[in-house]
Amino acid sequence: MRTLREQLARRGGNPPSGLTRAPGHATRAPALDRLVAHPAGRLLADQFTKLLIMGAFTLGEAREVTAFFNLVRVHNAGAAFSMLADAGGWQRWLFTALGVGAAGFITWMLRAHAGERLFCSALSLILGGALGNVVDRLLYGYVVDFLDFHALGWHFPAFNLADSGITVGAGLLILDELLRVRRARA
């Protein structure tokens, strides 16, 4: 069986950039391994920090770290900003299904666009975050939040590493699209 590189060379073409053939493996983008490791690392870091918080804090407990930051233990049965938190329990399964569906779609997108570094980095952050919150919903029925930023008596809703990955990933997706549009106009 010929590799993609060999087939294209025989036809006088060049392989797409970034494609290589590892010994004994099918042709693939080398960056894909890193993109799979990144969400797994984020998932592990998210779950580890949540275990630390659950072991050291009681529900509702807060400890001041700086004048603008506390570590807290909050359980969120809803979505972002506790949306639907008091919905009666069905939201656990809805948000779990949405997270699993998003993870499947993101995994497909990572494979389809493995050569696009910024786009895939953004998706990897979102994937790791989505899976971190799905694990919480499956294990506990809620998401454990513990990062509490505040100023002048105003508190931003508590969040966790999974949420930060989703937020930073969404920001990077916006940046990637802005850069893509800019390149298209140039």
* Selected catalytic residue, list 136, 145, 148, 176: 145
Q: What is the DSSP letter of 74?
A: E
Catalytic site residue 46? no
Catalytic residue from among 46, 136, 148, 163: 163
Give dist(CA 45, CA 24) in Å, integer: 32
Catalytic: 136? no
| 3-state class (DSSP) for residue 179 | helix
Strand partners, 159: 147
* Beta bridge partners of residue 62, listed in sequence order: 72
Look up residue 82 and give its two tokens: 């506790």
**Which structure tokens are listed for 37?**
């490791």
Instruction: Give residue 136's identity as a one-letter amino acid code.
Output: D
Active site residue ranges: 145, 163
